Every structure is written in structure tokens, then in C-alpha cells.
Amino acid sequence: MPVAALMEKVAGKLSDRIVQLYPACKVGILVGSGHNGGDALVVARELHFRGYEVQVFSPFSRFKDLTATHLQYAKSLGIPCVEDLQSCDLIIDGLFGFGLTREIEDPILSLIHQVNTWQIPLISIDLPSGLETDTGRALGTAIRATHTLCLGLWKLGLLQEPALEFVGKAELIDFDIPLADIFAILGESPQNQRVTSTWAMSALPLERPASTHKYKMGHLLLICGSERYAGGALLTGLGGRASGVGMLSIAVPNSLKPMLSSHLPEALVIGCPETESGAIAQLDLDLTAFDAIACGPGLTLEAADIVRQVLDSDRPLVLDADGLNALAKLGAETLKTRQAATILTPHLGEFKRLFPNADLTCRATAVRAAAAATTAIVLLKGARIAIANPEGELRINPESTPALARGGSGDVLTGLLGGLLAQQIAAQSQISLLDMTQTAAWWHAQAGILAVETRTELGVDAHTLTQFLIPSIAAHQKN
Ligand SMILES: NC(=O)C1=CN([C@@H]2O[C@H](COP(=O)(O)OP(=O)(O)OC[C@H]3O[C@@H](n4cnc5c(N)ncnc54)[C@H](O)[C@@H]3O)[C@@H](O)[C@H]2O)[C@@H](O)CC1
Ligand SMILES: [K+]
């Protein structure tokens, strides 16, 4: 499609959306030298015709040809070029799109700093100017947008954590890129994908076979807790319970058994001999009896030998928290010799301990490298969970809530993921481990989002979170 026609089409769609979001007002357009600036100028023209009071400002004196032509035409229509947009009710940011290739310098650096102090609603075209398209890092600085209208296909950077403080509400403006063209370039199963609700829901074992029994619905073993971190064991258990797993066994230090049994009456709580400081000292269990194991929350490093025992087993495994810290001491690459699937769920600190040489400039790349180096599925926790498998496929969960930034929230995820894993193994399901892992991450986040509706962002402690897991699925099932 001719570039000029593409720009016309895209900017028409952008204008329609801007009219919906901010009906008639005084609008200031920031124009860059490239085609992002060209888009902005077509938007300026369209809004002018729709009765908006439009002003244009560009810090550049040279433009790409198409952009220069649009600038000339906008001027011929009487749209004023001004030096300051502070009196506007809305700003459209068309300074840079995916063509930003280097650090921003003055005078544009100062301009962006200034715009960010204005407190005027701001819509960025394609991505907030200043963000690097793939990593989502600010190259020197970046526009803080109220809305980002991303064009055509999601830019990876918008889904990465560093971009979060800049993008505001992000939405996609579809402009009919033919699927065949996308497949021709990215393949039929593009390596980087954004998790959607429909996709995540499709991996849930929501319809149980009519003639099933508890052992067919998965047997999960949780190994967690210590005297010091008793709550971690409980939260992991509650996460496991919500997964719908058929049988839940929980191995904890002996002294924790009464507490767990009283809160999780349906679980089989296995009291283990403990060390002087109350960590699990010994695990006398036939691990082959379980479909999957989730190990780590609250163990302390005193239980490192238990982690080694679990790693040596041939059971599919979710490893979290102190399980990861123990693995870091053994070396993450030892996972390569494991005989069964492993899913690692580190937060950033644990990730750095496991992979001390990782380059975290681009988290997506770092997670992918970690999965390749360990042959495990690696789920990096954070505001935007990124998950990769050893084959290089990457998934990012785009919707979450800062309410989940809270102690114990990760333990819930471990239990939930373990429960889904056990069910998947028991059912010999065709759902891939990667799909199942992304479903757990999505589910966890959706429960948090639902909880915020009635509890506010302050009220989603990890225990409360577990009570929203099932209602969040029920709400999606109704839709
Ligand atoms: N598929 C496409 O190619 C489409 C592109 N479109 C628009 O075109 C944009 C990309 O256009 P361009 O490739 O022209 O790139 P941009 O408009 O993002 O900006 C590139 C311009 O900025 C300059 N520049 C780069 N880094 C700089 C820095 N640090 N300081 C100062 N100047 C710098 C470059 O020399 C170039 O002139 C997209 O983001 C989108 O808005 C749309 O028009 C429609 C479809
Ligand atoms: K932009």
C-alpha cells in the first residue's frame, strides 16, 4: 500500500478515536520530522475540518518529504504554527514513532521535559515520543501520555515495564494489515505475543469430564513454609486450591501442620521433620506419586537439600522463591539435566541471582535467553509478567494492577500455577506448558483487577486475592 495512503488511512482512524475521547476543544499538535509527524499533521487537518481549534508546533526545521507536504497544506488551510501549546486543552504527540534511533538531545529534550509539566491531557501517536520501540526504555526522556494509540501491531516496548510510566491507557488502532502479510514476516505463530483473555480462558480446565474422579484431576504436591514463613505456605495452598486441582498435598515443617489443616481442611498436610530454626529438614515421600510439584515459598535456604531432592525427581516442577535461591547456588544451568518440565517464577531480584550475567536492557530478551540457557519455562514477575520457553516463544500479560505489589501475592501464583500444571499433566492435555503458564499469570492478575473494584488498590492483600480467583473466572465465563 502506498505510504501516503497508509498515513491517510491511519490518521483518519486516529482522528475518529480522538473525537470520541475528547470532543471539540482547543488542540495542540506536536510535529516531528518523520512520518509520526506526518500522521500528526493529517490528524491536525482532520480535526480542523471537524471544528476543533487546532495549533501546530514543531521543533524541527527539516522534514521528510511527505511530512513537509502535509505541513505546507495545513498552513495553507490557515492552521497556525505556534511556539507554545500551553493554552490548549489537549496535546497530540507526533514527535517520534518507531523511527527514533538515538538518545534525545536538546532542544527536544527540554521541550519534552516542559510538556510533561503541563498537566494537559496528551495522546501519543503510535508510542510516547522518546520510548525505544522494542525495549520500552526512555532514550533520554519521553512524553508522559494520557493515552497511547498504537498503530497496527502492538509494539513490544509498550508491553515492557519501563514504558509503563509513560504510556497511560494504551489501545490499538487497527488499520487492516492483511494477516497474510503479518504471517509472511513473523511466521504463523509470531514469537512475541500478547496474552488475551480469550486465549487465557481457553487453556483453563473449566469443563470437567462427567465421569471423572479426584485422581484424574491432578495431584499437586506443594513443598513450602517454615516457622518463620508460615503464611507463605498457607497462601501457596490457597492458590493451589483455587486452581481446581483434584488432590492437594502440602509438605510443611511439622509445627505448621495444625495451622494448615485448619485453614485447608481438604488438603492432605504432610508434617516433615524440621531443623532447629523450623525449616523442613527431611522429605520422606515417594515423589512419583504426584502429577506435579510446586516448591519454594517460605522454605528458607536451610531447606536447600530438599530443593535438590526435588530437582533430582522426574516430576514436572514449579520452582519459586527459596527454591530459586537454592537453585542459584547450584547454578541455573543444572536444570538442563532435569528429566521433566520445569517452570521458574522469579521476581527481578531472584532473576538476577539466578542469571547474574543477564543483560536486562530488554526484559523480554533477557527472559528468552534465560529460558534457552536452562531449558525451563521462565516467568519473570513484575508489573508486566513476561514468560518465555526454551524454543524462544515469548508471552506478555498486558493487564495487571499495582495492587498485586504485595508480600504473599507471588506465593498465590505459585500454588495456582502448580495446580494448573498438575491438572494438565493428569489430563494429558494438548495445551502447551507455555499456554498454561500464561493462563496462570493472566488469572492471577485478573483476580487482582476484580478485587480492586470492591477493595481499592490498598485492599488486595494476598489472602483477599485468593478469594477473588474463582469469581474472576466466573465473571469471564459469563461474558
Ligand atoms: N507501516 C508504517 O511504516 C507506518 C508508519 N506510520 C508512522 O510512521 C512512524 C515512523 O515514521 P518514521 O520512520 O519516519 O520515523 P519517526 O517519525 O518515528 O521519526 C524519525 C525521524 O526522527 C529523526 N530522529 C530519530 N531519532 C532522533 C533523535 N534522537 N533526535 C532527533 N531526531 C531523531 C529521524 O532522523 C527521522 O527523521 C510510525 O511510528 C507511524 O507513526 C504511519 O504513517 C502508518 C504506517
Ligand atoms: K509519538
Q: How many CA atoms lie within 13 A of 94 on its CB side?
A: 32
Q: How confident is the model at residue 457 (pLDDT cuts 50, 70, 90)?
A: very high
The pLDDT assigned to 386 comes to: 98
In the chain, % of residues over pLDDT 90: 96
In the chain, % of residues over pLDDT 70: 100
Nearest ligand to the CA atom of 98: 1
Nearest ligand to the CA atom of 64: 1
Give nearest CA residue, ligand 1 atom 31. 104
The pLDDT assigned to 215 comes to: 84
Residues of 347-374 as b/e, b for ≥16 C-beta within 10 angstroms? eeebbeebbeebebebbbbbbbbbbebb
pTM: 0.95
Residue 299 CA to ligand 2 centre (angstroms): 47
pLDDT tens track for 215-251: 889 999 999 999 999 999 999 999 999 999 999 999 9
Q: Is 90 exceeded by the pLDDT of residue 208?
A: no
Give nearest CA residue, ligand 1 atom 44. 7
**Superfamily (CATH H level) for 3-188:** YjeF N-terminal domain (3.40.50.10260)
pLDDT tens track for 119-176: 999 999 999 999 999 999 999 999 999 999 999 999 999 999 999 999 999 999 999 9
Residue 63 CA: nearest ligand 1 atom is: 37
- CATH topology for 197-206+213-478 is UDP-N-acetylmuramoyl-L-alanine:D-glutamate ligase (3.40.1190)
Residue 125 CA: nearest ligand 1 atom is: 41
Residue 50 CA to ligand 1 centre (angstroms): 26
C-alpha cell recorded at residue 3 = 505510504
ipTM of the complex: 0.98
Which amino acid makes up residue 87?
Answer: S
Domain boundaries, the chain: 3-188, 197-206+213-478
Q: What is the mean pLDDT of residues 411-416?
A: 98
Q: Is 90 exceeded by the pLDDT of residue 460?
A: yes
Q: Is 90 exceeded by the pLDDT of residue 442?
A: yes
Q: Is 90 exceeded by the pLDDT of residue 188?
A: no
The pLDDT assigned to 479 comes to: 83
Pocket of ligand 1 (CB under 6 A): 6-7, 10, 32-39, 64, 96-104, 108, 125-126, 151
Residue 60 CA to ligand 1 centre (angstroms): 13
Of 235, 245, 160, the closest CA to residue 410 belongs to 235
pLDDT tens track for 293-319: 999 999 999 999 999 999 999 999 999
Angstrom CA distances, 206 to 203, 216, 304, 420, 474, stand at 9, 14, 36, 11, 10
Q: Is 90 exceeded by the pLDDT of residue 271?
A: yes
Which residues belong to the annotated binding site for (6S)-NADPHX? 298, 347, 411
pLDDT tens track for 55-74: 999 999 999 999 999 999 99
Nearest ligand to the CA atom of 155: 1
pLDDT tens track for 24-48: 899 999 999 999 999 999 999 999 9
The pLDDT assigned to 216 comes to: 87
Which residues belong to the annotated binding site for AMP? 410
356 DSSP β-pair partners: none
Q: Is 90 exceeded by the pLDDT of residue 255?
A: yes
Given the DSSP bridges, would you call strands 192-194 and 292-295 parallel, antiparallel or unpaired?
unpaired
